[in-house]
Structure 1
Amino acid sequence: MTASSDVDATDETELDDADADERAADPDATGRPAEPLLEVDSLTKSFGGIDALNGVTFDVTAGMLTGLIGPNGAGKSTTFNVISGVFPPDSGTVRFGGEDVTGLAPNETASRGLVRTFQMAREFRNMTVLENLMVAPKAQVGETAWRSVLPGARGAVSDQEEEVFERAWSMLEFFDIDHLALENAGNLSGGQRKLLELARALMLDPEMLLLDEPFAGVNPSLESKLLERIETLRDRGQTFLLVEHDMDLIMEHCERVIVMHQGRTLVTGTPEEVQSQEEVVEAYLGGNVA
């Protein structure tokens, strides 16, 4: 090889190294943000002297489907309740999008783009499926007495209603429940209610969704449909933190997994990394975990 070739090869190697350094320094090049979207730091919460959370710490990267797992009583639902503002923490912080949202009420966290669902769907049973979706979007003008008499005021309401209706119908079609649009939500099956709840949560335009056991009580057919919709949304950039007891589902579909045990964070990593940890096996089998 000539001297010139040696120089060219060296320059090419240096350029490759520089590109790699640039990708590492600028995660946008790989589609990932530089900072976590959700940061949970040292959360504690006690009920009647019993520690439900004891220093829970983890973060969630934007655009990922992250699983939160652990044995019964590990503190998963309490973690969700504290993050979403249902309970205030005794100590610790929750940051979302770089903003401290610790202790904010659920409606305040939702208005910032952090929205959750519940283990048991909480639909408005006496309203139709379509009405359940249309009631969800924030900052709706709504009906008032003065709008009914002031010239032009009713037009703004009508325009907004039409926009919300179109969004709601698109959501119904996306979840394949448009045929149930005029059905009372209380008449839906458990799986259909889970689809409705996720669709309603998305009507809030969330940046991140906390899904608390979305597949519980769902038959395999609807579970597959719901999972397919979640992955489609993830591929579009939606961020999910998912509590689920089906370990095969978590390990197959989540990009990152957080394991809790006895109110604290035990392990975080890829599914492969988590499955290789002996303390995770011990936690699920009831062994002593250091």
Structure 2
Amino acid sequence: MSETERGRGPDADDAAEAAGSPSLDLGTGPNVTAEYPLKVEGLHKSFGGITAVDGASFEVERGSLTGLIGPNGAGKSTTFNLITGMLKPDSGTVTFNGEDVTGMKPHRIANRGMVRTFQIARELGDMTVLENMMLAPQAQQGEALWRSVTPGVRDDVIRQEEELLERVWEVLDFFDIDHIAEEYAGNLSGGQRKLLEMARALLTDPDMLLLDEPFAGVNPTLEKRLLDHIHELRGQGYTFLLVEHDMDLIMENCEHVIVLHQGRVLTEGAPEEVKANEDVIEAYLGGNV
């Protein structure tokens, strides 16, 4: 499917992106054919005299669950921030679905289908779970005040909100958090917040999800639930890039692993290959696996 067909053309402004309603089909997933939707080439980023990312280059295969690992200070979070527009690289490029998105603003990258979550969930605590979810879908006609108050046009706004509400309940049910829909998000446990953040990200109609330590602070029961959802979505065609410190979790769930060390890609490959790599053992695993 082309960028124009998705409504994510590189020249579309925010007003144009708000003209229609995106769709979410948990049964089919994304419909984009590029084999490697994300390509990172030669990324560099320094802060003062400290180099955080030093020429990192890698690709993420469509439909894969790819792990990005490395010791503290390896540049994982900075790399995530460079990919998603939170930071601008000093040099290098980020290509998503064939389009150069290097340095593009985060919301424009998200509008093109690459959405991230954060290590610390960023829910709106004074709003309910349901209200948090209703904010996520793109292209809501009610965001324009004149549409909400103009006779005739307002009927379209109401109709779209009803459709969005149905989608929201479907996703809440998918993530098993429909029973806390009326709870204030600020009252949720850490694991429930992670479920909410991933559910909200899915409502943006993404092609690819970048998850920054989604299991940090999550109890084993909710961790398993999150993993089950990730694997189910991956089976539907969604692509995941996952930063996680739990080595066993990465090795047991990712089919491809990228190892960062001092801002560079030390090695990458299948989990067993990475675990057996002597450079990884020395630099990251402290001499044992």
Amino acid at match of 1:268: E
- How far did residue 150 of structure 1 move? 3.1
Runs of 4 or more above 4 Å deviation: 31-34
**Over the residues paired in the alignment, what is the CA RMSD in angstroms?**
1.6
> What is the match of residue 219 of structure 1?
219
> What is the match of residue 251 of structure 2?
251
Q: Provide the rounded CA distance (Å) in 2 between the counterparts of 1:41 and 1:177.
A: 39
> What is the match of residue 283 of structure 2?
283
Q: Deviations over 1:190-215 (max 9, x none)?
A: 00000000000000010000000000
> What is the match of residue 147 of structure 1?
147
Q: Deviations over 1:5-33 (max 9, x none)?
A: xxxxxxxxxxxxxxxxxxxxxxxxxx995
Q: Provide the rounded CA distance (Å) in 2 between the counterparts of 1:88 and 1:81.
A: 8
User: For the structure 1 residues 78 and 145, does the alpha-carbon distance in structure 2 shift closer, same or farther, using more than 3 Å as the test?
Assistant: closer
> What is the match of residue 115 of structure 1?
115
User: For the structure 1 residues 145 and 67, does the alpha-carbon distance in structure 2 shift closer, same or farther, using more than 3 Å as the test?
Assistant: closer
User: For the structure 1 residues 201 and 149, does the alpha-carbon distance in structure 2 shift closer, same or farther, using more than 3 Å as the test?
Assistant: closer
Q: Given that residues 44 and 89 in structure 1 are in contact (C-alpha distance below 8 angstroms), is that contact kept between their aligned partners in structure 2?
A: yes
Q: Provide the rounded CA distance (Å) in 2 between the counterparts of 1:262 and 1:133.
A: 38
User: For the structure 1 residues 98 and 150, does the alpha-carbon distance in structure 2 shift closer, same or farther, using more than 3 Å as the test?
Assistant: same
TM-score, normalization by structure 1? 0.86
Identity of aligned residues (%): 68
> What is the match of residue 131 of structure 1?
131
TM-score, normalization by structure 2? 0.86
Q: Deviations over 1:174-194 (max 9, x none)?
A: 010000000000000000000
Q: Provide the rounded CA distance (Å) in 2 between the counterparts of 1:264 and 1:149.
A: 53
Residues 141-180 of structure 1 mapped to structure 2, 5 A cutoff? 141-142=141-142, 146-180=146-180
- How far did residue 51 of structure 1 move? 0.1
> What is the match of residue 18 of structure 2?
none
Q: Provide the rounded CA distance (Å) in 1 between the counterparts of 2:252 and 2:145.
A: 54
User: For the structure 1 residues 186 and 264, does the alpha-carbon distance in structure 2 shift closer, same or farther, using more than 3 Å as the test?
Assistant: same
> What is the match of residue 53 of structure 2?
53
Secondary structure of the residue aligned to 2:221 is: helix
Q: Provide the rounded CA distance (Å) in 2 between the counterparts of 1:74 and 1:223.
A: 25
Residues 91-106 of structure 1 mapped to structure 2, 5 A cutoff? 91-106=91-106
> What is the match of residue 78 of structure 2?
78
Amino acid at match of 1:205: D
> What is the match of residue 39 of structure 1?
39
Amino acid at match of 1:106: P
Amino acid at match of 1:153: V
User: For the structure 1 residues 34 and 159, does the alpha-carbon distance in structure 2 shift closer, same or farther, using more than 3 Å as the test?
Assistant: closer
- How far did residue 34 of structure 1 move? 5.9
Residues 191-230 of structure 1 mapped to structure 2, 5 A cutoff? 191-230=191-230
The structure with more helix, counted as a fraction of residues:
1
Q: Provide the rounded CA distance (Å) in 1 between the counterparts of 2:86 and 2:150.
A: 40
Task: Please tell me whether residue 63 in structure 1 is matched to residue 46 in structure 2.
Answer: no
Amino acid at match of 1:157: V
Q: Provide the rounded CA distance (Å) in 1 between the counterparts of 2:258 and 2:169.
A: 35
Amino acid at match of 1:197: E
**Unaligned residue ranges in structure 1 (runs of 5+):** 1-30
Q: Given that residues 259 and 266 in structure 1 are in contact (C-alpha distance below 8 angstroms), is that contact kept between their aligned partners in structure 2?
A: yes
Q: Provide the rounded CA distance (Å) in 1 between the counterparts of 2:62 and 2:149.
A: 46
Q: Deviations over 1:213-235 (max 9, x none)?
A: 00000000000000100000001
**Unaligned residue ranges in structure 2 (runs of 5+):** 1-30
> What is the match of residue 240 of structure 2?
240
Secondary structure of the residue aligned to 1:142 is: helix
- How far did residue 138 of structure 1 move? 1.0
Q: Provide the rounded CA distance (Å) in 2 between the counterparts of 1:144 and 1:113.
A: 22
- How far did residue 151 of structure 1 move? 2.8
Worse overlay, 76-85 or 269-278: 269-278
Q: Provide the rounded CA distance (Å) in 1 between the counterparts of 2:221 and 2:149.
A: 50
